[in-house]
Chain A
C-alpha cells in the first residue's frame, strides 16, 4: 500500500483526474493538490489513488524504469500490488 505510482493527467473533472501510466488509465483524486494546482499534461505521484505531489516527466520515467526492472526480476508467483 506504500508504492507510489507516477501518472500523467489526461483530463480533470473537479477533484478527479483521469490519469495514465504506461498505457493504464485510472481515476486519481486531486483533493490534496489544492495547494499546488495541477493541469492536464502534468505528472503527479499517486498513492492509493490520491495525488500527493507534482513531479517532472523525467522523474516519472525514472520511477517507471525502476518498477519495470523490479517486476521483471520477481518470481512469477509473487505479486507486486499497490494496495
Chain B
C-alpha cells in the first residue's frame, strides 16, 4: 500500500533533524507543486526548500530574445515560439520594443504555439513564407524539437535554438564555493528523458544526498524524506522516487534523437553567464535549418554579458537559489504578473510567478 502525503509528512517530522537543511529543486513543475500544495509550510521549520535553476524561460539568454524580436520586426518572417516567451523583456530603452508581445502589437508576425508540430504545420500551410521557430526549453522540450527535426521539416522552417541541459547548472553551483544547498530533488521528467544516471554526479562527485521526484505531493515528499534520511544516516545515494516513469537509462530513443541532430555546446544562461556543455546547436547535417545561416547579421554577441537582468531585478539571484522571490525589492511592487519586470515573474515556471500565484503578495 502506498504512503499518502500526510503519512510522509509524519515520517519527516519524526526524523531527528538537528540542523537547518536546505533542499534545492531544479524544476518549475516541482516548485509549482510544492507551493500550491503548501508543502513548504507543512515541513519542520529547519527544512528550507529552495527553488533553483528550473525555469528555461528565465535563463533564456537576453541576446536570443533580442534576436527573435529584431528578426520579427525587420525581416519578412513569421516567428513562432512557446507562449511563455512572448512577454520576456529585454534590456532596451523605454521607447524601444522590449518583448515579442510588443513586436506583435506593432505589426510583426509573432505566433504563440504549444508544440513543435504546430511550427511544422504553419510552415507547411505557408510554403512561400519563412517561419522561424524560437525554441527555448530544457530537455523535455529540446527532445521534441529534435524529434521534429529528425522527422523532416520543410525548407522554410528555421530554428533559433535556445535549448539547455539542466544538470550543468547544478554542477556549476556545486563546483562553486557556496552552492547554497545541502541536498537535491532532481527533476522527474528531465530524468524520464535523459535517465536517472545523469544525476549520479551529485552523490559521487559532490557527496550530497539526491532523489528524483515526480510531481504529486507524495512523490515530492518521498524524495524529501529520502534526502533527509540519507543526510542523517550519512549514507548518500541517488534515490529514484519516480520509478514509474524514470528508467535508469531514460528514453533511449529520445536521447539518440537529440544526439542525431544536435551537438552539445557551451551556452549562456541569463543572469548566470556561460555554463560549459549546457546548450545545443544543430549539427552539420541539419545546419541548413539554423536561422543564423540565413540571417547572419542578427547575432549580437556584444549583448552577451553575464547577469544581464533588468535593472533592479533580482532574477539572477532567484534563478541560482541565492535569494527567495519575495526578497527582491521589486516583488509585488513594481513587478507583478500583470506588469512583470523580470523573466521569473513572466513564466509559469518562474519562481516569482509561482509564489505570486500561490498567494504570497508581499516582499520582505
Contact = CB atoms under 8 A, between A and B. Distances in A.
Interface of A: 1-4, 15, 27, 29, 31-36, 45, 47-50, 52-53, 55-56, 59, 62-63, 65-66, 69-70, 73-75, 77-83
B337 interface: yes
Given A50-B144, A66-B33, A66-B216, A2 B137 contact: yes
Contacts of B83: 81, 83
A48 B116 contact: yes
B254 A59 contact: no
Contact of A73 (B36, B114, B141, B215): B36
What is the interface of chain B mostly: helix, strand, loop, or mixed?
Answer: helix
Interface of B: 27-29, 32-33, 36-37, 54, 56-57, 82-84, 112-118, 136-138, 140-141, 143-144, 147-148, 150-151, 189, 192-193, 215-218, 244-245, 251-254, 257, 337-338, 348-349, 353, 356-358
A83 B337 CA distance: 17
Nearest to A80: B348
Nearest to A35: B253
Contacts of A65: 216
Contacts, number: 135
Given A52-B192, A52-B254, A69-B37, A3 B348 contact: yes
7 contacts: A1-B82, A1-B84, A2-B138, A3-B29, A3-B348, A48-B116, A81-B83
A52 B251 contact: yes
A2 B56 contact: yes
A59 B188 CA distance: 13
B245 A70 contact: no
A81 B137 CA distance: 14
A2 B58 CA distance: 13
Given A3-B29, A63-B216, A31 B151 contact: yes
A14 to B, nearest CB: 10
B115 A48 contact: yes
A65 B36 CA distance: 13
